Amino acid sequence: MEVSLVYGAATPPGRLSPALDYAGDRLADVGATCARIDLRALALPFAPAELDTAGRGAVEAVARAKAMLIASPVYRASFPGVLKNFLDHLPVEALAGKPVGWLVVGATSHHYLGVDRHLRDVFAWFGAVPLATGVYLTNDDFASGKPGKPAAAELDALAATLIDTAKRLEGWTPGPPPLAARR
């Protein structure tokens, strides 16, 4: 099963990257093939018609995958524009009926619901299947730059739930289509 891992930050890797790596390793442990998309390394234009080969490859990787896991920092009580820009390049069909999970890293727990709510709104537009809960980590959840035991347990559960949901949705046709897909 292919899973897209999206590193949704334009900043150099900090705590977010090892958390995504940990989750990716857990997904691989249960047989998933993970394709990591690093938005820091992609220079995405705002107009989809201007996507270069790497940008088109990233969009195709999400469309091909059976599930997606997004890693996002908290940026001004939401997720960063580089992530929104990437999501804007995806066609509705790339996420319609597809399970999506996320992990978020913030300095404190104050902004948890802001990021969660904003991501859910975007995924609703696609008709994606967001997991019931995501993982939100703060500075206190890391030891020596890596997720500590409690954070690792949450990431384990996130990876297992994402794979289980993707398996349960195989062959499922969602309906009605999201408003964005109606023509």
Structural domains of the chain ordered from first start: 2-181 (3.40.50.360)
pLDDT tens per residue across span 53-112: 999 999 999 999 999 999 999 988 888 999 999 999 999 999 999 999 999 999 888 777
Query: What pLDDT was estimated at residue 182?
Result: 76
164 has pLDDT over 90: yes
pLDDT digits (tens, 9 = 90+) for 100-158: 999 999 988 877 778 889 999 999 999 999 999 999 999 999 999 999 999 999 999 99
Q: What was the pLDDT predicted at 183?
A: 66
C-alpha of 37 from chain center: 10
Q: Determine the pLDDT at residue 115.
A: 85
pLDDT band at 174 (very low <50, low <70, confident <90, very high): confident
- pLDDT beyond 90 at 49: no
| Structure confidence at residue 32 (pLDDT) | 96
pTM of the model: 0.93
Residue by residue, what is the 3-state secondary structure of the chain?
CEEEEEECCCCCCCCHHHHHHHHHHHHHHCCCEEEEEECCCCCCCCCHHHCCHHHHHHHHHHHHCCEEEEEEECECCECCHHHHHHHHHCCHHHCCCCEEEEEEECCCHHHHHHHHHHHHHHHHHHCCEECCCCEEECHHHEECCEECHHHHHHHHHHHHHHHHHHHHHCCCCCCCCCHHHCC
Rg of the chain over all Cα atoms, to the nearest angstrom: 15
For residues 177 and 139, which has the higher predicted lDDT (pLDDT)?
139
Q: Are 181 and 16 in contact (CB under 8 A)?
A: no
Contact of 180 with 125, CB cutoff 8 Å: yes
Whether residue 3 has pLDDT greater than 90: yes
- Asked if residues 27 and 101 have their Cβ atoms less than 8 Å apart, the reply is no
Higher pLDDT, 176 or 60: 60
